[in-house]
């Protein structure tokens, strides 16, 4: 019988790959278990060091978890051997199983690192990957028992494998194990500094007056024509991409669509708090109410553009420097629009899972366009982005080719689909919900337009400061 430790590692890999084991490979020396356990400890430290923060100190606490798992694995192997009436094989099983467990740990670490690079990675994806690995582990145990004790009935071997898999995998799924890297030590007890000149209370108190000034600056409604008004809402103040989209969309409709004096922006960004009302749910309600009081509700058109992060629960993320602001849900937006009295509406939502807004907001008088399906993410957010995929495709590219909002959607959807395919991303599938009634109003508005030249991006530095409007 060979006492070669690398050979035991190779046999563990063969077991994991469900390959046959030669008779000589089925009996392993029990002392191999302990150097293989030491390898498991080193592997755990290496994996945790990859995910650890820079200041996290190395701790011996993780050894408790690895030792506990090793004891459970040894107990599982001993119990399975006894159930199969081959107790002498308990140590051989333990050695083969811990060797296979090493390879499975490597596979799990590589899988998690690869999944983490994908934009759609979530806790659900993590749980699915763990369930797949657990199923693989169960199959590997069952296979090894068939190799070790082929004379025992298959149902007995399967029952022993299920019991061993449950016992050996228990710490991974049911416990909160200790780790080799402890919490980051506190470096100071200094209270965080609010970065703006205005205190949060003063900033929030100023919103009503600031919003009313912006509403008062709007051009009066022209009774001789169908007027369109734009309200743009940039929810997340932590990334410039949303400010860029609000800036560009406001300029695009003012310049190319001749809507000077009929655009209003609500934006969360530290650099614009003195010139623009915040993108809060309260300001959104008040802005819609104010627009409704200035519009001809029988004929005028509202263009409402919202851009931010979105959640699987279909909430738009609203954030400015950690202020406890309400998030925007489809029901909130539906009620705010109903309270405004505005009849004819175009709603464009650029966010992950934004398709979840369609069900509550689409009707005969509302065109709804979203950057993604209700169960899909969109792409292009982040600190290194200047525009989201959908925002660039729809506003910068499509609406500079055509002023028809529906045609622009088809152009943008084609571009987004092609780009996501080239990058091998899960398609976001932008959505649209329309009706003949709202399309007739859009056709009338289109007939009045005298489109101006396309508006390039980035916006010219020579342009007036949008905050001064």
* Residue 469, pLDDT score: 33
Cα separation, 270 vs 434, in Å, equals: 36
369: three-class secondary structure by DSSP: strand
* Residue 33, pLDDT score: 86
The total number of residues written for the chain in this structure: 469
Judge contact between 264 and 214, C-beta under 8 A. yes
Question: Could you list the pLDDT tens digit for every one of the 469 residues in the chain?
Answer: 445 888 888 888 888 888 888 877 777 888 888 898 899 889 888 887 876 655 567 777 778 888 888 888 888 888 888 888 888 778 888 888 888 888 888 888 887 777 665 544 555 666 777 788 888 888 888 888 888 888 888 888 888 888 888 888 776 666 666 777 765 455 444 455 677 888 899 999 999 999 999 999 999 999 989 999 999 999 999 899 999 999 999 999 999 999 999 999 999 999 899 899 999 999 999 999 999 999 999 999 999 999 999 999 999 999 998 899 999 999 999 999 999 999 999 999 999 999 999 999 999 999 999 999 999 999 998 877 899 999 999 999 999 999 999 999 999 999 999 999 999 999 999 999 999 999 999 999 999 999 899 998 888 543 333 333 3
Spatial neighbors of 182 by CB under 8 A, at least 6 apart, are 56, 57, 59, 61
* Residue 154, pLDDT score: 85
* Residue 397, pLDDT score: 96
Question: If DSSP states are collapsed to H, E and C, what string results for 201-240?
Answer: HHHHHCHHHHHHHHHHCCCCCCCCCCCEEEEEEECECCCH
User: Strand 366-370 vs strand 431-433: parallel, antiparallel, or unpaired?
Assistant: antiparallel
The candidate with the shortest Cα–Cα distance to 238, out of 265, 207, 270, is 270
DSSP state of 431: E
| pTM for the predicted model, two decimal places | 0.61
* Residue 23, pLDDT score: 79
* Residue 3, pLDDT score: 56
Spatial neighbors of 274 by CB under 8 A, at least 6 apart, are 198, 467
């Amino acid at each position: 019988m060979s006492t070669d430790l690398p050979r035991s590692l190779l046999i563990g890999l063969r077991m994991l790959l469900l390959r046959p084991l030669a008779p000589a490979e089925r009996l392993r020396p029990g002392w191999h278990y302990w150097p293989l356990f030491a390898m498991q400890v080193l592997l755990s430290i290496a994996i945790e060091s990859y995910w650890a923060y820079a200041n996290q100190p190395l701790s011996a606490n993780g050894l408790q978890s690895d030792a506990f798992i090793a004891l459970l694995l040894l107990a599982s192997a001993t119990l399975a051997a006894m159930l199969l009436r081959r107790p002498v094989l308990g140590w051989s099983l333990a050695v083969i199983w811990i060797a296979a467990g090493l390879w499975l740990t490597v596979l799990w670490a590589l899988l998690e690192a690869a999944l983490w690079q994908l934009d759609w990675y979530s806790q659900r994806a993590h749980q699915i990957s763990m369930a797949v690995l657990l199923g693989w582990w169960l199959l590997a145990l069952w296979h090894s028992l068939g190799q070790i004790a082929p004379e025992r009935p298959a149902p007995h071997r399967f029952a022993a494998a299920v019991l061993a898999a449950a016992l050996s995998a228990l710490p991974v799924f049911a416990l909160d194990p200790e780790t080799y890297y402890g919490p980051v030590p506190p470096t100071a007890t200094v209270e965080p500094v609010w970065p703006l000149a205005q205190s949060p209370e003063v900033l929030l108190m100023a919103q009503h007056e600031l919003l009313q000034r912006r509403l008062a600056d709007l051009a009066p409604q022209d009774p001789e024509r169908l007027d369109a008004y734009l309200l743009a809402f940039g929810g997340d103040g932590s990334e410039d991409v949303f400010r860029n989209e609000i800036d560009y969309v406001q300029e695009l409709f003012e310049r190319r669509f001749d809507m000077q004096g009929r655009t209003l922006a609500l934006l969360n960004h530290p650099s614009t708090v003195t010139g623009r009302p915040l993108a809060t749910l309260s300001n959104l309600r008040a802005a819609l109410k104010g627009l409704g009081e200035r519009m001809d509700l029988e004929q005028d058109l509202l263009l409402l553009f919202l851009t931010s992060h979105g959640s699987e629960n279909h909430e738009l993320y609203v954030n400015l420097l950690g202020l406890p602001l309400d998030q925007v849900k489809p029901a909130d937006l539906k009620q705010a629009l109903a309270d405004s009295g505005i009849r004819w509406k175009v709603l464009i939502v650029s966010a992950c899972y934004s398709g979840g807004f369609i069900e509550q907001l689409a009707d005969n008088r509302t065109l709804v366009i979203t950057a993604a399906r209700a169960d899909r993410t969109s792409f292009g957010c982040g600190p290194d982005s200047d525009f989201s995929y959908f925002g660039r495709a729809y506003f910068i590219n499509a609406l500079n080719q055509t002023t028809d909002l529906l045609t622009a959607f088809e152009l943008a959807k084609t571009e987004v689909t092609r780009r996501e395919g080239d990058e091998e991303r899960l398609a976001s599938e932008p959505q649209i919900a329309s009706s003949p009634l709202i399309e007739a109003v859009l056709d009338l508005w289109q007939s009045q337009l005298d489109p101006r030249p396309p508006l390039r991006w980035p916006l010219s530095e020579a342009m007036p400061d949008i905050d001064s409007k």
